[in-house]
């Protein structure tokens, strides 16, 4: 069982790693040194941001004062819609005639698109990875409460190899109970701010943040919760194009801005199992499993 868990953990990391492994990413996108690169990579930025900003809460209930903690694993799945699998690209460089075509993004079809040009030339728009969803799994600790305020932390750091360096994630968030200031409210209400950084060596660096309003209500063993959030994310990718001996970098901004969250937590004593759906430009299904004590 232990070895299987290790395989699973490695697989989850492999997705991110395979995207940014020096040779692989270069082979995927070495053609895209200009504007097309932004279009090719944009869905990756959207998916990263959307998954990072998911699963940060599973209830809006925070004690006014006293020990309250949750330790668990949060898994997020960004299902890639068809609209994020193609983009409109234009031939680059000296290829003639200049031609525009609908071609795969990094999540698109695993087949390149070819355009015939003058004098027996052919322009190749690179294939995608044929990805239907992006998974993201991270441990999470939430601890409180001081005057209805708690702190959420996410962290992992895994050394991959000398070429890639470490995969690192650090996240912090703080939220405050609003409902504690009002009597007789039928629901718990809180507001939170969360900030996350992620990096893979010098190749990838990502930042995401979200501010949200959270609401929840306990009904027997269940906690129904939801929220409205405003978010931002950035993804910077840097690699060397050895064919032309140039350094290529993309600075991408996630398209996700507003997200609606709706979910339910199943409370089995200290065991908390939650599932929620996040509706946004890039929607995310999120599930969590953890142990909570306190409220």
Partner 1 sequence: MKKNIIILFLVPFFFSSCEKRKFEFDLSLNLEETYIVDHTGNFSESQTITRSDVMDALSIPENAEIESVSIESIAISIQVLNDNEASALLVSGMAQLGNGSPQIFNNFPISLVGVDIPFVGINSLIADGVEGIKDKIEGYIKGTDSAPFSIEISGDSSPTAGQRVHVQILIQVKGNVKYTNCEDALPFMGADCS
Task: Say if CB 61 and CB 126 are below 8 A apart.
Answer: no
Q: Does 267 bind partner 1 (CB under 8 A)?
A: no
Q: Does 132 bind partner 1 (CB under 8 A)?
A: yes
Q: Does 285 bind partner 1 (CB under 8 A)?
A: no
Q: Does 191 bind partner 1 (CB under 8 A)?
A: no
| Helix (H), strand (E) at residue 230 | strand 222-241
Q: Does 98 bind partner 1 (CB under 8 A)?
A: no
Report, in Å, the least distance between residue 142 CB and partner 1.
Answer: 19
Angle at 55 between CA 52 and CA 58, to 5 degrees: 160
For residues 14 and 153, which CB has a smaller minimum distance to partner 1 in the complex? 14
DSSP label of 118: G
Q: ω before 149 within 30° of 0 (cis)?
A: no
Q: Does 96 bind partner 1 (CB under 8 A)?
A: yes
Rounded distance between C-alpha atoms, residue 252 and residue 41, angstroms: 8
Of the candidate spans 19-27, 57-65, 177-185, 220-228, the one that interacts with partner 1 by CB under 8 A turns out to be: 19-27
Q: Does 163 bind partner 1 (CB under 8 A)?
A: no
Q: Give whole-number Cα distances, 2 to 5, 6, 9, 15, in Å.
A: 5, 6, 11, 21
First-to-last CA distance in the chain? Answer: 33
How distant is the alpha carbon of residue 215 from its chain centre?
A: 23
Q: Does 220 bind partner 1 (CB under 8 A)?
A: no
Q: Give whole-number Cα distances, 24 to 57, 78, 97, 264, in Å.
A: 35, 22, 29, 40
Q: Does 135 bind partner 1 (CB under 8 A)?
A: yes
DSSP label of 109: -
Binders of partner 1 in range 41-80 (CB under 8 A):
75
For residues 83 and 130, which CB has a smaller minimum distance to partner 1 in the complex? 130
Q: Does 88 bind partner 1 (CB under 8 A)?
A: no
Binding-site ranges for partner 1 (CB under 8 A):
4-5, 7-8, 10-12, 14-15, 18, 23-24, 27-28, 30-31, 75, 93-96, 110-112, 114, 117-124, 126-127, 129-133, 135, 137, 241-244, 268, 271, 273, 287, 289
């Amino acid at each position: 069982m232990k070895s299987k868990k290790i395989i699973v953990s490695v697989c989850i990391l492999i997705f991110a790693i395979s995207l940014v492994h020096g040779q692989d990413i270069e082979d995927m996108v070495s053609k895209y040194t200009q504007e097309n690169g932004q279009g090719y990579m944009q869905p990756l930025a959207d998916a990263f941001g959307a998954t990072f900003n998911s699963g940060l809460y599973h209830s809006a209930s925070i004690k006014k004062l006293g020990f309250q903690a949750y330790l668990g694993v949060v898994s997020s799945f960004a299902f890639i819609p068809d609209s994020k699998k193609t983009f409109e690209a234009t031939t680059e460089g000296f290829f003639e005639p200049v031609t525009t075509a609908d071609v795969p993004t990094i999540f698109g079809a695993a087949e390149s698109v070819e355009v015939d040009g003058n004098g027996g030339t052919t322009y190749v728009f690179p294939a995608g990875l044929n990805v239907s969803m992006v998974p993201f799994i991270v441990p999470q600790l939430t601890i409180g409460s001081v005057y209805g305020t708690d702190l959420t932390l996410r962290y992992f750091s895994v050394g991959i190899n000398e070429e890639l360096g470490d995969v690192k994630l650090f996240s912090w968030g703080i939220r405050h109970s609003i409902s504690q200031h009002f009597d007789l409210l039928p629901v718990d209400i809180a507001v939170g701010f969360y900030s996350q950084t992620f990096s893979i060596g010098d190749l990838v660096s990502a930042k995401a943040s979200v501010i949200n309003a959270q609401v929840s209500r306990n009904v027997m063993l269940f906690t129904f919760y939801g929220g409205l959030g405003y978010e931002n994310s950035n993804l910077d990718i840097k690699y060397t194009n050895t064919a032309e001996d140039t350094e290529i970098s993309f600075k991408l901004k996630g398209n996700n801005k507003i997200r609606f969250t709706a979910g339910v937590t199943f409370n089995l004593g200290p065991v908390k199992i939650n599932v929620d759906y996040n509706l946004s430009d890039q929607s995310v299904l999120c599930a969590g499993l953890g142990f909570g004590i306190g409220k």
